[in-house]
A and B are shown apart, each in its own frame.
Chain A
Amino acid sequence: MIQKENIESKSNSVPLEDLGVLSISIQHAMHTSEGKKMLEVSTQIMPHELLCLFGHSGAGKTTILRILAGLTKPDKGRIVFGNTVWFDSEKKINLPPQQRNVGFMFQDYALFPNMSIEKNIRFAQKEKDEAEVEKLLNLFDLAELRHRKSGQLSGGQKQRVALARALAAKPSVLMLDEPLSALDCEMRAALQHEIRKAHQLLKTITLMVSHDKHEIIKLSTSVMVLRNGTVEKCGKAEEIFGKSSNHNGEHKTACMNLCVH
């Protein structure tokens, strides 16, 4: 979105499509607790971008992720990733989630309760690769917990397993739906680091829903602010609420400070 020109100039002979640009232009009627709302989003997300979706509940953040993952079918529009059309309402194209190669981290983590941590990660792999499983277990500090099931894990541990599992599938786009919302401050700060690590490891687009401005400033390369289903603002985090969040007298808690530092 923001770095489009830079990337184009850097990659001279490589067309943008091959780098995996995500082009979105969708319309979808959402049924929220406040009634029916139209979700209208039209944007381009550049490769290597970590885009945070910000806005009130019911603004359409999760719905956008679900639409991109193929879990919700939009009413109208077109979604293209690289050279692949994921969705086109006019041509009646709608690739199922299985064919979009996205990594989706759910708000409730959605770990498979019947499988151990190790098996959750192995299940995600498209081709068996034990070395990769070991690498992910070590990277997310899960090696000692490998035989435990999800019911025996804390919130932070579940979050790390969910991230490791999403990465094991080697997704083209990583989507995180409020990944840190259920965690305490200390854990939150530590896991923001894990998310950054995951994004760098994948070298692709990461989309993350977050309510925490400080977290967004810390992690994102760009932010999309949504209000009632439409994009209100788009840009770098500091430009959008960098100054205002520091100077408008907003209540800063000890937690926020911990998360920022």
Chain B
Amino acid sequence: MDQDFIDTLLLTGKLAGWTTAILFVIGFPIAYLLAYRRFPLKSVAEALISMPMVLPPTVLGFYMLMAYSPQGALGSFLQSVFDVRLAFSFGGVLIASVIFSMPFMIQPLQNGLTAIPKSLREASYTLGKSEFTTFVRVLIPNMIPSIITAVAMTFAHCIGEFGVIIMVGGNIPGETRVASIAIYDEVQAMNYQTANQYSLVLFLISLVILTVIFSINKRKITTI
């Protein structure tokens, strides 16, 4: 296997791994707020988070690209103050990927939290436990299947992402050229064998991840 092939797969894993990790950290508080708090325009917030599920990836990619552009407010600010250019860079692709994969992390977490009987939280509060202690000791351990689903769906979705990445990142080897882009690129160049290699690896990775995760998930459900 040539270095380019390995680099592309490593970059794909790096993007999916970072996206999942970032979304796990920011997704939990958002899911908690959506599950348990009432606030104005909550439906709008929920709709916005779910938008990537129905929006063509190219639409989001287009707006992200406009925002990153040095002519745009965000792009020019980042360029002039921090000397950072997000368009056609790994950082830019990562931000777009985090936004685009958000519902895949937040929705299972939110569903997991709302599925836990309210009385469990209330029992913990009456026993003198803070919201944070209740979250860590009572809620998280009783929603492990939902957490596994959220992580699995986010990671798998991210590995297969194409539209947003090609819009925001283009096809720069080692920077933004992930496996799904490479497949498209190799097919355009009529290198079907290489395209097949990438496709097979992506197929197997996705299948193995989902199978392992769902089997763990099933075991957890039966033990709870």
Q: Which of A's residues lie within 8 Å of B, judged by CB?
A: 69-71, 96-104, 106-108, 110, 112-114, 123-124, 126, 151, 165, 169
Interfacial chain A residues near B117, Cβ < 8 Å: 108, 110
Interfacial chain B residues near A69, Cβ < 8 Å: 122, 126
Which 5 A-B residue pairs are closest in the complex by CB-CB distance? A114-B141, A110-B119, A110-B123, A97-B125, A104-B126
Inter-chain contact B142/A101, CB cutoff 8 Å: no
* Additional 20 contacts, C-beta under 8 A, given A102-B126, A108-B117, A114-B141: A70-B126, A71-B126, A97-B122, A98-B125, A98-B126, A98-B129, A100-B126, A103-B126, A106-B122, A110-B117, A110-B120, A110-B122, A110-B123, A112-B123, A112-B137, A112-B142, A114-B138, A124-B127, A165-B127, A169-B128
Within 8 A of A (CB), among B93-137: 117, 119-120, 122-130, 137
Inter-chain contact A151/B224, CB cutoff 8 Å: yes
Chain B's nearest CB lies how many Å from the CB of A136? 14
Interfacial chain A residues near B142, Cβ < 8 Å: 112-114
Cα A151 to Cα B138 in complex, Å, equals 15
Number of A-B residue pairs with CB-CB distance less than 8 Å in the complex they form: 58
Inter-chain contact A104/B123, CB cutoff 8 Å: yes
Count chain B residues whose beta carbon lies closer than 8 angstroms to a beta carbon of A: 17
Interfacial chain A residues near B123, Cβ < 8 Å: 104, 106, 110, 112
Chain A's nearest CB lies how many Å from the CB of B112? 13
Interfacial chain B residues near A100, Cβ < 8 Å: 126
5 interchain pairs, CB-CB under 8 A: A97-B126, A99-B128, A110-B117, A110-B120, A114-B142
Chain A's nearest CB lies how many Å from the CB of B222? 10
Interfacial chain A residues near B122, Cβ < 8 Å: 69, 71, 97, 104, 106, 110
Interfacial chain B residues near A97, Cβ < 8 Å: 122, 125-126
Interfacial chain B residues near A108, Cβ < 8 Å: 117, 119
Inter-chain contact A101/B120, CB cutoff 8 Å: no
Chain A's nearest CB lies how many Å from the CB of B126? 4
